[in-house]
Amino acid sequence: MSGYVAVGWNRTKYIYDGILIAGVVTYIAAFMGIEAWLHPPKAQPEWIDLRIKALGTCAFLMLTIILSIGPLARLDPRFLPLLYNRRHFGVLMFLVAAVHAWSMVEWFWVQDALPSLVDEFTAWPNYLKFIGFPFKALGLVALFIFFLMASTSHDYWLAVLKPPVWKALHMAVYAAYGIVVIHVSLGAVQRDRGLFLPILLGTSLAIVAILHLIAGARGRPIDRGIAANSDGWIPIGPPRSIPDKGAKIVAAPGGERIAVFRDGNEIGAITNVCAHQNGPVGEGKIIDGLITCPWHGYQYQLKNGCAPPPFTEKLPTYRVRLKGGIVEVDPRALPAGTPASVKVPLKA
């Protein structure tokens, strides 16, 4: 738990959350309004059924957007602001999905049919079928995964579990997404004959899968690494090939990524892995003289990889040098916080 500092609320977070909540309320109101106008519900269970559909499609759309934010931000930095508060997006999605599940229980309850719901879950032979599988059980499994993720989304749990474990736990969202697609396919798609749901599912699946595949392929060349010189140093290029206030990301074959930053004539190299959530520090910029992670704004000094006081995070640094007009980096990491930046002459 040492080192945990609660991240305070700020104006950007309030705006982000305000837009999220307004979007959810608008979607649900519009969905229910249009559906009620087209097919007016006659009794209370039909109203609840309408609410189940509105909340279910809303949660699924939110999940699609949440899963698209990561690869979109890697492909185009303009999407980075969406990543900033993605955890709140996830928690709100869980709440919408939880009300969707509760509405389903309510649908049985108002008709004094709760035993039928229990029967659906305990019809064991149906678990061996494909069409006819108890799809509500799939929804429950996905909801449980979302609950685990929402309840551990706070930075407190990130500090307790440490970023690698926390990230691995949160990768369960991919499995949950697959489960949700099959939950809807075996449930509502079997009952409703319209095209809306198949199109919604197919489009979502195509967008999410293609974005992840493209983003993964885009990063592959960096991970292949650059062959080192005879003395083990990796050539980066002339100083000006590193964008001012930005970085070039490189890796030794089989090694972790290194971000080589330039701030004017000062060049320094740190690990590309942020101490907060393992974010790609090298995709960030130098703001107010500090390397700033693009994910959540964690900052580090170029000279030694240390966060500015009072923060205590430190990143491993790498030795850099200028040899024959080419910047080179030694891929053997120095202990976190070791000063290693150098000043180089800049040719016009």
Partner 1 sequence: MRRPHRKAHRMIWPVLALAVLFGFAMTLVLRPPAEPAPPPTQEQRR
Q: Which of 193, 227, 310, 348 binds partner 1 (CB under 8 A)?
A: 193
Shortest Å distance, C-beta 109 to partner 1: 27
How many residues sit close enough to partner 1 to count as binding (CB under 8 A)? 37
The answer to whether residue 257 forms part of the interface with partner 1 (CB under 8 A) is yes
CB-based burial label for 148 (10 Å; 0-12, 13-18, 19+): middle
- Binding segment toward partner 1, per CB under 8 A, in 40-48, 147-155, 183-191, 318-326: 183-191
The answer to whether residue 75 forms part of the interface with partner 1 (CB under 8 A) is no
Residue 150 host element (H or E): helix 135-151
The answer to whether residue 199 forms part of the interface with partner 1 (CB under 8 A) is no
Rg over CA atoms, the chain: 25
Q: Residue 119 or residue 223: which is nearer to partner 1 going by CB?
A: 223
The answer to whether residue 6 forms part of the interface with partner 1 (CB under 8 A) is no
> Which residues inside 92-131 make contact with partner 1, applying CB under 8 A?
130-131
The answer to whether residue 167 forms part of the interface with partner 1 (CB under 8 A) is yes
**Token pair of 203 as six digits:** 């489009």
Shortest Å distance, C-beta 29 to partner 1: 29
**Token pair of 335 as six digits:** 């202990």
Q: Which residue has the tokens 């309004």?
A: 33
- Binding segment toward partner 1, per CB under 8 A, in 1-9, 15-23, 181-189, 232-240: 181-189
Q: Is 10 left (phi over 0), alpha (psi -120 to 50) or beta?
A: beta
The answer to whether residue 175 forms part of the interface with partner 1 (CB under 8 A) is yes
SS3 per residue for 44-107: HHHHHHHHHHHHHHHHHHHHHHHHHHHHHHHHCHHHHHHHHCHHHHHHHHHHHHHHHHHHHHHH
Q: Residue 6 or residue 195: which is nearer to partner 1 going by CB?
A: 195
Cβ atoms < 10 Å from Cβ of 346: 12
Shortest Å distance, C-beta 320 to partner 1: 21
The answer to whether residue 77 forms part of the interface with partner 1 (CB under 8 A) is no
The answer to whether residue 186 forms part of the interface with partner 1 (CB under 8 A) is yes
Shortest Å distance, C-beta 169 to partner 1: 12
The answer to whether residue 185 forms part of the interface with partner 1 (CB under 8 A) is yes
Shortest Å distance, C-beta 153 to partner 1: 18
Binding mask 208-247 toward partner 1 (x if CB under 8 A, else -) reads xx--xx--x--xx--x------------------------
Shortest Å distance, C-beta 110 to partner 1: 25
What one-letter code names the amino acid at 1?
A: M
DSSP H helix total and E strand total for the chain: 11, 11
Burial pattern 72-104, b for ≥16 Cβ within 10 A else e, equals bbbeeeeebebbbbbbbbbbbbbebbbbbbebb
Q: What is the dihedral of CA 48, 53, 57, 60, to 10 degrees?
A: 70
What one-letter code names the amino acid at 242?
A: I
Q: Residue 268 or residue 280: which is nearer to partner 1 going by CB?
A: 280
**Token pair of 115 as six digits:** 């035993």
How far is residue 248's CA from residue 252's CA, in Å, rounded to a whole number? Answer: 13
Interface with partner 1 by CB under 8 A: which residues? 130-131, 164, 167-168, 171, 174-175, 177-178, 181-182, 185-186, 189-190, 193, 198, 201-202, 205, 208-209, 212-213, 216, 219-220, 223, 251, 255-257, 273, 278-280
